[in-house]
């Protein structure tokens, strides 16, 4: 998907700052530095649209990227796991994300990003259970595939496939 028009729309660090929806939204979630911003840049064909960093914890709120004038919005959620931020700040992110996921009618689904080298960890399994129990459609995206040789990547995908089977709900956007 190379979007003809893609632009940053808004950032929200509190529920009151979440903008009105302009169309369906797909949220991207994953560990800090798993590649959410790189995926947004790749999908939109805009290299610097979403800011990438080597430092975990740079996404400090919900970041909204409007595609094709609002026909679709990608929402970058703060990463979880290790981040150079206080426990209090990370707890605030968790509350904001839960509020967004549980209350956003425009949310068509969630893409859970996982580093292919690590595979799904307890946090991803718990997240999948949470999304499924809340009736929220979700799917899996393997990232960092460029870090493995072609043969190792193919083997790793075969190893991981059983962990993902049945643990998703179809996203209709």
Residue 123's CATH number: 3.40.50.300
pLDDT, position 168: 57
Residue 172 in domain: no
Residue 58 in domain: yes
SS3 state at 21: coil
pLDDT at 20 over 70: yes
Domain range for 103 is 6-164
pLDDT at 12 over 80: yes
Query: DSSP string of 56-80?
Result: TT---SEEEEEEGGGTEEEEEPPPB
Residue 94 in domain: yes
Query: Length of the chain in residues, anyone?
Result: 173
Of 130, 129, 131, 115, give the one whose Cα is nearest residue 79. 115
Residue 1 in domain: no
pLDDT at 46 over 70: yes
d(Cα 143, Cα 131) in Å, to the nearest integer?
20
Of 105, 104, 173, give the one whose Cα is nearest residue 138. 173
Higher model confidence: residue 151 or residue 56?
A: 151
Task: Name the domain count of the chain.
Answer: 1
pLDDT at 59 over 80: no
């Amino acid at each position: 998907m190379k979007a003809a028009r893609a632009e940053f729309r808004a950032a929200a660090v509190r529920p009151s700052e979440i903008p009105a929806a302009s169309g369906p939204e797909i949220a991207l979630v994953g560990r800090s530095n798993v590649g959410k911003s790189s995926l947004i840049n790749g999908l939109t064909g805009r290299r610097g649209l979403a800011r990438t960093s080597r430092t975990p914890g740079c996404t400090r709120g919900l970041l909204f990227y409007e595609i094709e004038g609002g026909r679709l919005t990608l929402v970058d959620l703060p990463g979880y796991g290790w981040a150079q931020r206080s426990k209090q700040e990370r707890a605030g992110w968790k509350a904001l994300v839960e509020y967004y996921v549980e209350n956003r009618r425009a949310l068509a689904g969630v893409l859970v990003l996982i580093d292919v080298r690590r595979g799904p960890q307890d946090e991803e399994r718990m997240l999948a259970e949470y999304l499924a129990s809340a009736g929220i459609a979700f799917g899996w995206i393997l990232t960092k595939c460029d870090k493995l040789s072609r043969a190792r990547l193919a083997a790793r995908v075969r190893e991981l496939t059983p962990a993902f089977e049945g643990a998703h709900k179809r996203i209709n956007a």
